[in-house]
Structure 1
């Protein structure tokens, strides 16, 4: 479908994109983990240097290393931040927005933000798009996006690339392009740290026009630690687990309550006597207390870490269309990504 051009320098790739699109760029970047940081930063830096370039970015959930607000906080949190996030390249547009220095020729529209992160930025609040996830594809097509860029990982033969953490909207965008409903450059940036996910997450190499492919630019994936689970979380988890029937379908969100629910389900399946005792102790009203025979199936916007725990424990074992879990995006702690890489293709 296209003649793939390889680049080892993000600046030269940004120049090639601008040469193809002209100075009006409408750039779509994935939610969360799948952003091609080096490529996106290069385009932003070109637009900062040249005010005649119009750069509009559609994205969601920009992942950022925590910021410190005082010298004391920096000295206290600095070693922790270094241990958890060393080597992760910050997004230039986010840094400049926080500093109030992003020029007017660059606009960033996000449809999902971290709670409270942009309270001090009227500009970013006004640029927010209130869109249901199911409507995002329509927004992108209506905006006449002319560049889609994403972090990807190749197979050994480099005939195909995996969208890995973000097969959510890109396959539909590529379908729209093949059907003539969209016209955009598709650019990738490789990162060997991404787990290779197959199925709909796998795209052929000839779908790409440009690829930033330089192992020296591979960076550690954003990996926040799992939140500690409180006693209140565990109580919520037990109550929830007591309402989940064997053979059911499960959706769990990210965070400590989701982990508590996962833990309670594992306890119910593997240590049933202890689970029943806890149900009595916290006065749960649910009637579901037996181990899982049929097992659960998971359908979730985000593939969260406790789904892996549930698969390993034998709780999630009911297949739908040949798979145990359907999800659109993922990111998690440092331990999560190796688990995904090590899972067999039929897990």
Structure 2
């Protein structure tokens, strides 16, 4: 009897048994063969649900991790993400909770570096990879995780030990939204969309690149190297600096008290009439600088982006200036030396 003649239930049993026996980062032959066999089975489309349901019973973290990656590949190719994603989440929580950290010793005076078993580290990494593939494609699963304090607290507890929890937390920290960006001096106003950003320094870099494309006054040429690093297309050192003073819409003058701070998350930018507003003022003192460390880590399923969606008409821009009570800024003639 060939593998394609076996009942699907038997093949699923074989996969779970092989995952139980997984003891290292190197994929064992039995698990590789079992996954290849199910790929050729006529009922392979029905294997996803039973494997996901039994994921939490797998006795090897590395084995569960490999199955999570297999499930994640299905989500990337259009399989429904909610049910399997929920199973991966609960399995990842189980293995993460088994990791001991020094913070767990509330009454202990002992201190030292936290450690994690290499096989558990590898398994959590793969579980995180599979979970990100599902959550990135399911707003309901994303919202479910955001509404569970136990999920946030647990992955925050172990994210310094394994890249799996770190990737999940990075996904949950990423934000998307829309901005009204106002260049006060020129009275130009544009609408901007941003996606998958976790801090305003990253927003500033990609926003400056987008505004340079439409020749916003004060913009400069953006190097291809910096742009590729900021988009996660290249992993390298890079630095950037502000072209304007970034202000909030609730402060109608260029003032440090009304600054948008680069270390803050994009949702810290205040809304006015349900719109997040960014004011571009002439620089105050020296330009703020930041490095590429604010750009990552990157998730392939959630690439960062900032795009200009359109420019407001002169009449529409005037409405915003009157609403925010913005001042008239007289441009200094280029020939005036004093």
> Normalised by the size of structure 2, how large is the TM-score?
0.25
Greater RCO between the two (CA within 8 Å, min separation 6)?
Answer: 1
Q: Which has the greater radius of gyration?
A: 2
Higher helix share: 2
